[in-house]
Amino acid sequence: MEKRMILENLKAYYRQLKGTTEYFVKAVDGVSLEIYEGDILGLVGESGCGKSTLAKTMMMDLTPPLQYMGGRLEIISRDGKSFEISQFKNRDEVKRKLWGKHIAYVPQDALNALMPTIKIKKIAYDVLRSHDKNISFQKAVEIAKERLIELDLPDYVVELYPFQLSGGMRQRAVLAMATLLNPEILIVDEPTSALDVTTQKIVLKSLIKLRKLGFVDSIVFITHDISTVRQIANRIAVMYAGKIVEVGPTESIIREPLHPYTQGLINSVASIEPEGREKGLSYIPGQPPNLMDPPSGCRFHPRCPYAMEICRKEEPKLLKVGESQVACWLYQEGGENV
């Protein structure tokens, strides 16, 4: 399977000043991950673990206070071109060369962020014009209508303002417009969280269709709800306190989670009623750490029922175990259980 994106030890921190002292919120802190052609990768983890920050970093959408702190980020296009974060001088250049064409992002608050005074057809025109300055408005509207029909939406949607669409329709229209230029990678951040269960399913279907029709090659689906992501993802990456702690095929992660944090996430889904799940309740004791001063060693150790001496001192590496990769001393030389 061809790689579409490679992240190696990627770091992005929020810089904060308290008086004259500088602090960093280590929201993305050494993330390594590969995304393959055809992947629907679910990125899961509790609120505040860094999912949205990782999405912004993957888009190279770094604006203060968020700063790129190091590591490698590469996007590989269908025709084999490689784009590296280090190649770009600034955000404008990234925007011009990559956004929409090679990588698209539907942010967490997309539904609310849409300008109420801009019709869907103007959104389409702006996306298409970013690639082809000379495209006519008429042509852009035609392309947008075609795309809406292909995604089972009525073409008159182009004539509407976002607020005239129901939540589900709006989300699907946003997905259709964001991918008009057929980017290799689409990142969607909590696309279904604000929707009821029936509408969620329709949005998930639209995402699958985007990939099936080849409008996008790979999707990164971000959610704090592991039960949604298992319906759509072929792989799941679990994030905790700025790091990926486990990544593997969906079925292995759900049936045989290796990392104690993943086990906690799965158990909390199994043990809580849907209402509780919607509120993001979890049965993992304790709270995620403050990322300004995260725990030493394994960042999960203050909450982990299996924590050993080494866990407090040394950080476990993300290593291959079976079909997955996991960062936990229980599975590594140096831990007591190996």
Residues interacting with ligand SF4, by CB under 6 A? Answer: 259-260, 298, 300-301, 304, 306-308, 311, 316, 328-330
Give which of ligand ATP, Mg ion, ligand SF4, none residue 53 binds (C-beta under 5 to 8 Å, depending on kind). ligand ATP
Judged by CB under 6 A, the stretch of 44-52, 114-122, 173-181, 211-219 that binds ligand ATP is: 44-52
Instruction: Decide if residue 299 touches ligand ATP (CB under 6 A).
Output: no
* Residues 90-109 interacting with ligand ATP (rule: CB under 6 A): 108
Is residue 26 within 8 Å of 9, Cβ to Cβ? Answer: no
Say which residue the tokens 């190279």 belong to: 60
Handedness of CA 20, 26, 30, 31 (dihedral sign): negative
CB 218 within 8 A of CB 41: yes
Task: Classify each residue of 124-146 as buried b or exposed e, where b means 16 or more C-beta atoms within 10 Å of its C-beta.
Answer: bbebbebeeeeeeeeebbebbbe
Residues forming a β-bridge with 8: 72
Query: Which residue, 29 or 189, is less far from ligand SF4 as judged by CB?
Result: 29
Contact predicate 100/37, CB 8 Å: no
CA distance 197 to 121: 28
Q: Cβ closer to ligand SF4: 162 or 316?
A: 316
How many residues are present in the chain? 338
CB of 220 to ligand ATP, least distance (A): 13
The distance of closest approach from Cβ of residue 66 to Mg ion in the complex, given in angstroms and rounded to an integer, is 13
Exposure string of 235-261, with b = 16+ CB inside 10 Å and e = fewer, is bbbbbbbbbbbbbbebebbbeebbbbb
Least Cα distance to 26 among 64, 60, 67 occurs for 67
* 105, 174 contact by CB (below 8 A): no
307 binds, among ligand ATP, ligand SF4, Mg ion, none (CB under 5 to 8 A by kind): ligand SF4
108 vs 325, beta carbon nearer Mg ion: 108
**Cβ atoms within 10 Å, residue 84:** 12
Q: What is the enclosing helix (H) or strand (E) of 228?
A: helix 226-229
**Closest to ligand SF4 by CB, 132 or 309:** 309
Per CB under 6 A, 51 contacts ligand ATP: yes
The CB-of-237 to ligand SF4 minimum distance in angstroms stands at 16
Taking CB under 6 A as the criterion, the residue among 30, 42, 50, 257 binding ligand ATP is 50
Q: Least distance in Å: CB of 44 to Mg ion?
A: 11
187 sits near ligand ATP (criterion: CB under 6 A): no
Q: Does 52 bind Mg ion (CB under 5 A)?
A: yes
Binding residues for ligand ATP, total number by CB under 6 A = 16
Nearer to Mg ion, 49 or 148 (CB): 49
Residues that bind ligand ATP (CB under 6 A): 14, 16, 25, 27, 45, 47-53, 65, 108, 224, 291
Binding site for Mg ion (CB under 5 A): 51-52, 108
